[in-house]
Amino acid sequence: MKPEALAEGGYRVSYEDVPLRTQDPGERRRERLPEENCGGRGTADSTVESGKGTADSTVESGREAADCTVESGKGTADSTVESGREAADCTAESGKGTVDGTAESGKGTADSTAESCKGTADGTVENSKEAVCCTGDRGWRLADVEAGKVSMEGFLAQLTDEDLCCIVRGEGMCSPKVTAGTAGAFGGVTDRLAGYGIPIACCADGPSGIRMDCGSIAFAMPNGACLASTFNEALSEELFEWEGLELRKNKIDTLLGPGINLHRNPLNGRNFEYFSEDPFVTGKMAAAQLRAMGRYDVTGTIKHFACNSQEYKRNEVEAVVSERALRELYLKGFEIAVTEGGAYSIMTSYNPINGFWSASNYDMLTTILRGEWKYDGIVMTDWWAKANDEGHAGKVENTAAMVRAQNDLFMVVANAGENSQKDNSMESLKKGTVTRGEYLRSAANICRFLLRTPAYQRMLGRKSDLDRQLEATRAQEMESFGELVRIAVTEGTCCLPVEQIATGKGSSVTFELNIRERGIYRLELTCRVAGQGSLAQIPLTLSQDRQIVKTISLTGEDKEWRTKEIRLNPSFHNTTFLKFFFGQGGMEIREARLVLEESMEAQYRAEKETAEETD
């Protein structure tokens, strides 16, 4: 492709004859325009001109037609691609839409709107199932679906609208309902959902190994660019078979990786996570890793679907891309991961694509992903991603638009049952802009995923010899790591159970603090030294979320009770981890009291509102 600037300020794009990967060897494709439409040059194969003229370009390769139109100012170029697939309308109209997101001087301010071939604005989706009325609890549990006693549809018909609104919300970060310190939990996130035998699954960052913010240790894996540089699928597969074993050991059902975006912008701060600029290499490496993890019945969540080519303002900058570029570049790696690697968990990207934020892009998530590639897994958002209705700005609360597009899970909220994110699910169901059938469809996708997880097997009490061996290994590791104690901090103050703080040399304990009100807390520690010589040095190191906050040291002279005050770091999430480590024995603790020093809830809400107004 050779872009040439036109005198009028538009662009001419010439396509040379090139072999197609999907054709037989030697078969070639020609894209040609009538000479009178080539700006007097006569040799250009395809022309896009600024002005009033239009240029038709037909691509013939024995496949069905799919529209792909780009309008710049008044000029248009219609490129009809015969692709043997259902048409996915990836039309981008520049200068006409209402979606802020195209980078202008790095600020993402240009407007762009996409026209979808399915009804995404009014909530009408052609192939969505009709809503099934709520039957109430008839005694069916998810295990009955596995046993063939009831269909998935019959099982889910028991759920109320409120249940359905809850099941599409993942919880996190560091949810106390799953492995400590991990990124999120989803599935049976409420007592009612759990009562139907719906397990709760765990996901953890990746892609370069498991991230657990509680201080637990996991293997650090080579990054994606390093692995892809080997061009060795077998090596990557062998490595990630071990990763699958570690996921199984830590009761994590999916690793949030591999990251398979392309290297398109050299300033993308996460290029090291991604494999390559080549979609074929990317897809092959991803498929190898997925196959390997799958041997332990866990999986990876391939991300970010799609066109996440930069980090700066990644939740705003819009990708205006032709359908051909989408299919041949940005989607190809994902397609290979799905069709060859058996992917069944995908994370959408933050950015808009041709007018629709990725999480609410029906053509991407339903027409192509599920329709053409026959994908039958779950789709989750990136953490706190936006979605939009046609012609409207993206909003974090627009879960209804996500579900309409078949993005099954919004990740993440602090409390799914309380709708802590204040999403629009119930409101949209009442208004009829989204249907109960569409929520049932996503619930079915989620439950089918859960049936494949070790979490489901554990819920039923099914343990293999491997699980028992892994549990024994994990128990040994936890002994060296220290005890984990979960505490609910529901008020502005809270006393930690000092009887659970072992103070011997080398002892440690970690408190998982589930905080209702985020902010800055102060730890008031009443302590002394007993039974030690006057020259003894007794250090206590306090860490918060893997960062050392302070080391306090008493001497053998400190025989009277004294109170030490330690100001903790701000709590940005509703869960934080506080670890005590004793380098020497001899310290006694009478009281450990948490006090809310400064609430930051109002500040966080104001920052969120400001960000939405800016968008």
Catalytic residues: 382
SS3 readout for 27-67: CEECCCCCHHHCCCCCCCCCCECCCCCEEEEEECCCCCEEE
Lateral strand order in the sheet of 75-82: 54-59, 75-82, 65-72, 91-102, 110-115
Q: Tell me, what amino acid is at 544? A: Q
Cα distances from 583 to residues 482, 503, 523, in angstroms, run 13, 9, 19
Q: How many Å apart are CA 288 and CA 239, to the nearest integer?
A: 10
Taking alpha carbons only, the member of 151, 147, 149, 145 closest to residue 129 is 151
Q: Scanning the structure block, which residue is given the tokens 């072992």?
A: 502
Q: Please tell me the distance from the alpha carbon of residue 586 to that of residue 556, in angstroms, as a whole number.
A: 9
Q: What are phi and psi of 257, to 5 degrees?
A: 175, 170
Write the burial class of residue 432 (CB in 10 Å: 0-12 exposed, 13-18 middle, 19+ buried).
exposed
CB 241 within 8 A of CB 295: yes
Structure-block tokens of residue 502: 């072992």
Angle, vertex CA 526, rays to CA 525 and CA 530, nearest 5:
125
Distances (CA, A) of 26 to 17, 280, 327, 434: 12, 20, 22, 49
Strand order in the sheet with 537-544: 483-489, 508-515, 575-582, 537-544, 547-555
Distance CA 155, CA 51 (A): 58
User: In this structure, what DSSP letter does residue 324 have?
Assistant: H
Helix (H, G, I), strand (E, B) or coil at 294: helix
Cα–Cα distances in angstroms (integers) from residue 288 to residues 205, 271, 283, in the given order = 19, 20, 9
Please, are residues 66 and 36 in contact by the beta-carbon 8 Å criterion?
Answer: no
| Three-class secondary structure of residue 411 per DSSP | strand
Which secondary-structure segment (H or E) carries 487? strand 483-489
> Which of 52, 51, 57, 53 has the alpha carbon at shortest distance from 13?
57
Q: Edge-to-edge strand order for the sheet containing 493-496?
A: 493-496, 587-599, 519-529, 562-567
